[in-house]
Structure 1
Amino acid sequence: MITLNFKFLYRIPCQFPVPQLGSFDYVPETKEHLDWADLVTVDLSLYHTEEGKKQLAKTLIDAVREKGFFYVKNFNISQERVDRQFTLGKQFYELPLEEKEKYTPEGLDQGKFNGYIPAGRTIVNRETGLRSRVEIYNIPKFNGDFPQNHPKVIQDNLPEIEEFARALHSEVLDPLFVLLALALELPEDYFTKLHQYSVKSEDHLRYMKYSKYSTEENKSLKNWVYGHTDLGSFTLLFRQPVAALQIRYHSTNEWKWVKPQDATLTVNACDALQMLTGGYVKSTIHRVTIPPADQQHVDRLGLLYFSRPHNDVPLATIQDSPVLQREGITQNDFERSGNPVPTMEEWTFAKQKWQRTFRDQDDKKHQNAVILPGFAERPYA
């Protein structure tokens, strides 16, 4: 065993022994000329001055209102730590299927999602019956609310995984929530109070694998994952070079490819922020499409973190923001419909249940299904 010093993650140094994992090799980036999205970058090295915060707050709010995705750099987590997490994800997916399936949660179709979610749960081509090859392993918060059994490769590295997840919260999410509060002219701690790590919420770290399709199968597909929005606050996506992620611009509805950028996170705003701001912040529509030809021969491994408000937070429009008041924004979809405003927990499990029971990517009727009274999922190509 070797001992790694985690002082580059936290202001307070932290040490513990971690197992050797080997290296993780990223595939080469595509050489095809794609229609890349023009996204801004939030440089957190500017965060520690008042002028820098002011500048970043404007950058952030423009990004989440106009395009929805943005990059974050200088977030105080080394590439070595990121590479080790990709290695852990790779080693998990190398386990036999029967071993992984031991960690599938009971009640998967009722919205449960922590643990292993196997491939094949949705149809991606109705004519041939071809099924999705997406696998997921979700690891919830390490705050005592979510006891979970893990396979040995995860259990042996759990202290390191916890260290990594907590660093994402303190080094990335907390600054982003402060910047969002500043942009809305709210107290700096407005959103951090709704996203405390010690309080119960459905945050989770995810290892996600998209297994490849054959050339002929790809020709028959529209996308690997249909257009959708995420249900929480911010989603953090670590760079991986298989081009497949596309976003739909809020302003023009054009689909654009998201380019992998070195030493960055790709971040998008999600449903909870849209509801809390009455639509001023827009939940980003995105999809996973078929990779370019020079990358279709490899699997695509993703490393993500999903942030959500506390479970008991009502998703009602913030009434204290001078910005929203000047815009005349006082209600979201639920409030306008006259239906009860859900808590974050109610929204999470309603949408997760809808997603888990969704079997056919081309079924537009299902995409228009009511998730909760006052909100129907929109169809996105």
Structure 2
Amino acid sequence: MPVPAPELGSYQYVTETKEDLPWADLITLDLSKYPTPSGKQELAQELLHALRHKGFFYVKNFNVSEERVNRQFALGREFYELPLEEKMKYVPDHAAGQLNGYTPAGSRLINKENGMRDRVELYNIPKQNGLFPQSYPTVVQAYLTEIEAFQRSLHSEVLDPLFTLLALALELPEDYFTKLHVYDEESEDHLRYMKYGRYLPEENAKLNVWTSGHTDLGSFTLLFRQPVAGLQIRELESDQWKWVKPVDGTLTVNACDALGFLTGGYVRSTIHRVTVPPKDQQHVDRLGLLYFSRPRNDLVLRTIKDSPLLEREGYTQNEFEKSGHTPPTMKEWTYAKQAWQRADQAYGDEKYRTKEIVPGFQEKVYDEPQVLAGY
């Protein structure tokens, strides 16, 4: 007989660190201003400043209740309490660039000098719009309706406003980007439950980072408040690594590769990593809840030609166009980068880290040479 799904119950967050860390000074966009024309214009300029000077920013008053967020964290907790043999039933074909489903820990060598491997587990759930068939364990299957409602709310309450503000900032029609990110169309968005398993203090002492510096491949990544400190960004202004502080009632958002391509580099894909947590938090696992937004699969990643701002500022070609290569579609780009991220060459092959993963785009090294590429 089928095993009944557990009650989710409440989710208990870890106490925040008491260490005085070099926190990034990030802008907070207050979406309560969004309904008015003047509020939209103000937020559009704040967003543009955040994207050009920091790359990461906070969003508050985004009309998704804390209770709904907590239930998603609780669902992630329940998934990771499943036996490994059960979770392994849902591993996708990583070599083909597929990432929806489960990725076990240990697939990355994070310090080749001492042979230590990552303890990161991923579980990705695609959009529930009928275009991405997938099998699920009972604990997830039982809550797919709730997961779909949560995903759709992230589009309507967070992503659509952000894309509208970005369009206004670039002097484009308000619906320019929202039309490229429609929930019911085919795109490789996914909701992710992400677990960083803890290391012993003596193991952490041998590590520089848990996942190395990298950029995300889509448009915007939404990260829900994670009290276990570890996320660091490489600030655009200072080029220094700064910690991202968990702030109550906010989402942390970063710009990704696709927006960089579409704007000819005017919006930069933000480099970030996860490092060893402060000592007062190293005794716990780190559970993350994220949503990765990506444009529709058939979009060719050419630089936008309709933006007066991009034209004035001289951002008229991306790296594909400058090198004479045809830009890939979003689907081609997604599967190529995901296949590169999961490739076997990650194990000690330095050429892997700067590989040309599609014609006209060469990956980059973002931190210590002994640390292999991140997620």
TM-score norm. by structure 1 comes to: 0.93
Partner of 2:372 in structure 1?
none
Give the Cα–Cα distance (whole angstroms) in 2 for the partners of residues 88 and 50 of structure 1: 38
* The one of 279, 299, 323 aligned to 1:337: 323
Deviations 1:12-56 (A, max 9, x none): xxxxxx974111100100000000000000100000000000000
The answer to whether the 8 Å contact 1:124/1:361 transfers is no
* The one of 228, 232, 235 aligned to 2:214: 228
1:287 is displaced (CA, Å) by 0.2
Partner of 1:372 in structure 2?
358
Seq. identity, %: 67
Partner of 1:306 in structure 2?
292
Give the Cα–Cα distance (whole angstroms) in 2 for the partners of residues 77 and 336 of structure 1: 41
Deviations 1:194-216 (A, max 9, x none): 11111100000000000001111
Partner of 1:48 in structure 2?
35
Which amino acid is 1:129 matched to? G
Q: 1:342 to 1:156 in 2, by over 3 A?
A: same
The number of equivalent residue pairs is 363
Partner of 1:9 in structure 2?
none
1:365 is displaced (CA, Å) by 3.0
Q: Is 1:32 the counterpart of 2:23 in the alignment?
A: no
* The one of 279, 284, 289 aligned to 2:265: 279
Q: Is 1:318 the counterpart of 2:286 in the alignment?
A: no
Give the Cα–Cα distance (whole angstroms) in 2 for the partners of residues 329 and 131 of structure 1: 40
1:309 is displaced (CA, Å) by 0.3
The answer to whether the 8 Å contact 1:124/1:360 transfers is no
* The one of 119, 124, 129 aligned to 1:133: 119
The answer to whether the 8 Å contact 1:36/1:258 transfers is yes
Give the Cα–Cα distance (whole angstroms) in 2 for the partners of residues 183 and 19 of structure 1: 46
1:362 is displaced (CA, Å) by 7.0
Partner of 1:12 in structure 2?
none
The answer to whether the 8 Å contact 2:54/2:235 transfers is yes
* The one of 188, 199, 214 aligned to 1:213: 199
Partner of 1:165 in structure 2?
151
Give the Cα–Cα distance (whole angstroms) in 2 for the partners of residues 115 and 331 of structure 1: 35
The answer to whether the 8 Å contact 1:181/1:188 transfers is yes
The answer to whether the 8 Å contact 2:345/2:352 transfers is no
Give the Cα–Cα distance (whole angstroms) in 2 for the partners of residues 117 and 147 of structure 1: 18
Partner of 2:58 in structure 1?
71
Q: Which moved more, 1:354-363 or 1:243-252?
A: 354-363
Deviations 1:242-267 (A, max 9, x none): 00000001122110000000010000
Q: Which moved more, 1:349-358 or 1:225-234?
A: 349-358
Deviations 1:341-376 (A, max 9, x none): 100001001100100016648754321111111111
Q: Secondary structure at the match of 1:201?
A: coil
Which amino acid is 1:371 matched to? I
Equivalent residue runs for 1:3-22 within 5 Å: 20-22=7-9
Give the Cα–Cα distance (whole angstroms) in 1 for the partners of residues 111 and 95 of structure 2: 21
* The one of 164, 169, 186 aligned to 1:200: 186
- Taking only aligned residues, the RMSD between alpha carbons, in angstroms, comes to 1.2
Q: Secondary structure at the match of 1:224?
A: strand
Which amino acid is 1:294 matched to? D
The answer to whether the 8 Å contact 1:208/1:302 transfers is yes
Give the Cα–Cα distance (whole angstroms) in 2 for the partners of residues 121 and 90 of structure 1: 21
Partner of 2:77 in structure 1?
90
Deviations 1:239-295 (A, max 9, x none): 010000000011221100000000100000000000000000010000000000000
* The one of 244, 248, 252 aligned to 1:266: 252
Which amino acid is 2:187 matched to? S
Give the Cα–Cα distance (whole angstroms) in 1 for the partners of residues 11 and 345 of structure 2: 33
Which amino acid is 1:259 matched to? K
The answer to whether the 8 Å contact 1:122/1:358 transfers is no
Partner of 1:14 in structure 2?
none
Give the Cα–Cα distance (whole angstroms) in 2 for the partners of residues 230 and 240 of structure 1: 18
TM-score norm. by structure 2 comes to: 0.95
Give the Cα–Cα distance (whole angstroms) in 2 for the partners of residues 124 and 263 of structure 1: 33
Extract unaligned runs of 5+ from structure 2.
368-375
Give the Cα–Cα distance (whole angstroms) in 1 for the partners of residues 276 and 40 of structure 2: 38
Which amino acid is 1:32 matched to? E
Give the Cα–Cα distance (whole angstroms) in 1 for the partners of residues 6 and 58 of structure 2: 31
